[in-house]
Structure 1
Amino acid sequence: MSCCQPEELEMLSLVKTAQVYQRGQVIFQENGRPMGLYCIHSGKIKVMKVGGDGKEQIIRLAREGDLLGYRGLLAGNSHSASAVALEESVVCCIPRAEFFRLIEQNVRFATSLMQLLSRALGDAEERMLHLAYKPVRERLAEALLLLARTYQQQNQEPVSIPISRDDLASLVGTAKETTSRFVSEFRDEGVLQARGSLITILNPARLAEISTRYD
């Protein structure tokens, strides 16, 4: 919201609501009606869809400062995916009426939103391409690097990631058993440590090398 004027920020602070979500709680549901623009104040969120086979596919990870729900708002239809808390999170919601008023009154905000949509589309296209031609091992390395960027705090090294094997498999786009097998391989190679649902990245450079093998 850095493109907003002080009076606009003051107005938003008056109309926004904030809610605490525990791990596993739904912020908004796929096919649900958009109620407003969501901004993550703290925590980590997964944006996911459920396929016809009932399997979950994580299409995006979001963290502090990220916006959610804008696609359904702008398109005037239902949410195309669900947002679920990966950990305790505080999420603010700006009502849809105030969201559209802001777009009409603030050209910089509208332009920033279009740029955000453009980047999201580019990321989605790249992800579809990778799912189509990258082997699972390379996709897992890429997913672990994405998780490291999402969870890394300033100057934190190494990065520890609390994520279930189910969520990791949904992010990679493969079966849980396959994901667990490759996690074990990476552990044996000294690339990471895995203790229950906690993964610690020990050699990000090696993961980057594996993830870009087919680029």
Structure 2
Amino acid sequence: MSIRSLFPFEKWDFKSESIMAGLPEEDYALLTMHQTEHLYGKGEIIFREGGFPTGIFFIKEGKVKKYKADKDGREQIIYVANTGELIGYHAILAQDHYPDSAAALENSIIIFIPKEDFMEAMKLSEVLSKRLLKTLSHEFSVLANSLSLFTQKSVKERLAIQLIILREKYKVDFKPGMHVEINMSRKDLANLVGTARENVVRLLTELKQAGILETTGSKITILEVEKLLLIANS
């Protein structure tokens, strides 16, 4: 049985990968007319909160964290964007500054699409505009669910939920029965869960002792996803 039949991924996961997939050829050509490709190293900033957008970003390969930082530099990771997803378009649609920051979680290939091309494609492509509207509506629901996550779930439940979501994002050439390796620093994982790094380290040790996962350096391998689902209580 697929884990997707057991866990409500749609409650916690944005769906911006559907925006670009299968666009009509002429719409895609218009959108990508002046695109440029860039390599970002792990930890490298893609855009910063408060900056003014000059375009949007398509993740051709890799993973990106979207986060907000307080005045002391402490981060709260809002979302982990995966290969195939589009980021940075909210600020352009709102005609405002970036509401958050984005940085590469691993070496990533990012395509930059100028604002002018994005806006022109939006104006001329009914398919693109409808997809963006649908995606934005879904993202509002995800953010509402994320707020309830912090008020209604324990730290252990939040960690279990995030590990299940990350397991899905880190799948590569997956076949049933395969283990999935998550590669994320304990600091980033703590910032995603919304707790101290020490709490994440302690809880991962508990889960490891229970045989639910294995850890090697920053890597986490989920061995018993069904047990993790029970802990998530979702």
Shorter-chain TM-score bucket reads: over 0.9
SS of 1:15's equivalent?
A: coil
Equivalent-residue separation in structure 2 for 1:11 and 1:18 (angstroms): 16
For the pair 1:206 / 2:227, whether they are aligned, the reply is: yes
- Identity across aligned pairs (percent)? 36
Find the partner of 2:63 among 40, 44, 48. Answer: 44
Contact 1:141–1:207 (CA under 8 A) maintained in structure 2: yes
| Aligned-CA RMSD value | 1.3
Find the partner of 2:137 among 115, 118, 126. Answer: 118
Equivalent-residue separation in structure 1 for 2:135 and 2:29 (angstroms): 23
Show the counterpart of 2:197.
176
TM-score by length of structure 2 reads: 0.87
Find the partner of 1:81 among 87, 96, 100. Answer: 100
For the pair 1:66 / 2:85, whether they are aligned, the reply is: yes
Show the counterpart of 1:163.
184
For the pair 1:19 / 2:38, whether they are aligned, the reply is: yes
Deviations along 1:148-199, one digit per CA (max 9) or x if unpaired, are 0111113252011111110010010000001110000000000000121111
Q: Which amino acid aligns with 1:154?
A: D
Equivalent-residue separation in structure 2 for 1:186 and 1:117 (angstroms): 35
CA drift at 1:55: 1.6
SS of 2:33's equivalent?
A: helix
Rate the CA distance shift 1:165–1:98 in 2: closer, same or farther, 3 A.
same
SS of 1:115's equivalent?
A: helix
Equivalent-residue separation in structure 2 for 1:9 and 1:68 (angstroms): 17
CA drift at 1:27: 0.8
Find the partner of 1:106 among 115, 125, 147. Answer: 125
Contact 1:191–1:204 (CA under 8 A) maintained in structure 2: yes
Equivalent-residue separation in structure 1 for 2:232 and 2:70 (angstroms): 25
Contact 2:64–2:103 (CA under 8 A) maintained in structure 1: yes
Contact 1:165–1:176 (CA under 8 A) maintained in structure 2: yes
Show the counterpart of 2:162.
143
Rate the CA distance shift 1:167–1:41 in 2: closer, same or farther, 3 A.
same
For the pair 1:32 / 2:32, whether they are aligned, the reply is: no
Rate the CA distance shift 1:3–1:194 in 2: closer, same or farther, 3 A.
closer
Which runs of 5 or more structure 2 residues have no equivalent in the other structure? 1-19
Equivalent-residue separation in structure 1 for 2:164 and 2:44 (angstroms): 25
Equivalent-residue separation in structure 2 for 1:5 and 1:161 (angstroms): 34
CA drift at 1:33: 0.8
SS of 1:14's equivalent?
A: coil
CA drift at 1:53: 4.9
Show the counterpart of 1:187.
208
CA drift at 1:46: 0.6
Which runs of 5 or more structure 1 residues have no equivalent in the other structure? none
CA drift at 1:5: 2.6
Contact 1:103–1:110 (CA under 8 A) maintained in structure 2: yes
Show the counterpart of 2:3.
none
Q: Number of paired residues?
A: 213
Q: Which amino acid aligns with 1:116?
A: T
